[in-house]
Amino acid sequence: MTVSGGLHPWPHPLLAREGWPFIAIAIAAALLVAWIAGPWWSAPLWLLAVFVVQFFRDPPRAHQAEAGAVLSPADGRVVAVMRARDPYTGRDALQVSVFMNVFNVHSNRSPVDGEVTEVRYFPGRFLNAALDKASLENERNALLIRVDGGPSITCVQIAGLIARRILCYAKPGTRLRRGDRFGFIRFGSRVDLYLPLEAVPCASLGDVVYAGQTVLANLKAGDAR
């Protein structure tokens, strides 16, 4: 289920700041080759520049989700909806995972309204992020978020086969609203959510979802406002 509307202003440019150096380098390389060797020789570099620009696009997102709705933290495809053990809190949880390929928007956005209580970084491998074992073996960054008036959830940024940089701007004490941009993962990755077992999933395996818009689950009525 995807919801739309306007709740919060969008404070970020349409092309993510994280990509500005890469975009500048790609365009400069294409211009240099075009100047030295001619436009036909520069064509592959122009295609590369177009790819880099589309990768770092960062369109505005807004929502009108009901209280208790958990929004997707990433664009991509749902690759897991299952009961699992949250390795960061030691609790049984509902796990919902979203895989981002290189054609998805790679900004990460908060799934809930709440306060970040912990941020834990773990070095690791760079396996294909679509694999379940990537959740525990790949480089990753876990945010524990206490939902306003409710339980805590865990949101984990996971590097992928090509990704080599996880960026997280949230710190303990940071307050996030649903849809707020808190990080970025470069070039293919995954985000895992660990929710209370009482949460009701709204997404299924294979669903295409959008960060800050698509509802992945609903918390129990008494758990969030």
CA separation for the pair 183, 110 (Å, rounded): 9
pLDDT of residue 131: 62
Yes or no: say if 213 and 203 are a contact pair by the CB < 8 Å rule.
Answer: no
User: Do 182 and 142 contact (CB within 8 A), yes or no?
Assistant: no
Q: Region 2-31: what's the mean pLDDT? A: 70
pLDDT band at 144 (very low <50, low <70, confident <90, very high): very high
Winning range, highest mean pLDDT, from 99-103, 161-165, 197-201: 197-201
Instruction: Using the predicted structure, report yes or no on whether residue 15 has a pLDDT greater than 70.
Output: yes
Packed helices 20-37 and 39-55: angle between N→C axes, nearest 10 degrees: 170
Q: Is 189 a catalytic residue?
A: yes
Q: In the prediction, which pLDDT does 225 show?
A: 37
Mean pLDDT of the chain: 83
Q: How far is 69 from 12, CA to CA, in rounded Å? A: 24
125-158 as b/e, with b when 16 or more CB fall inside 10 Å?
A: ebbebbeeebbeebbbbbbbbebeebbbbbbbbb
Active-site residue, from 42, 135, 189, 204: 189
Q: Report the predicted TM-score, pTM, of the whole model to 2 decimal places.
A: 0.82
- Is the pLDDT reported for residue 188 higher than 70? no
Q: Of 15-24, 136-145, 200-209, which has the strongest mean pLDDT?
A: 200-209
| Strands, sheet with 200-201, edge to edge from the N-terminal-most edge strand | 69-71, 215-218, 200-201
Confidence of residue 127 (pLDDT cuts 50, 70, 90): low
Q: Judge whether residue 224 has pLDDT over 60.
A: no
Q: Region 148-157: what's the mean pLDDT?
A: 91
Among 57-71, 116-130, 145-159, the minimum mean pLDDT is found in: 116-130
Maximum average pLDDT range among 56-65, 89-98, 212-221: 89-98
The pLDDT score that the predictor gives to residue 52 is 85
Q: Residue 2: its pLDDT value, please?
A: 40
Mean pLDDT of the region 86-104: 92
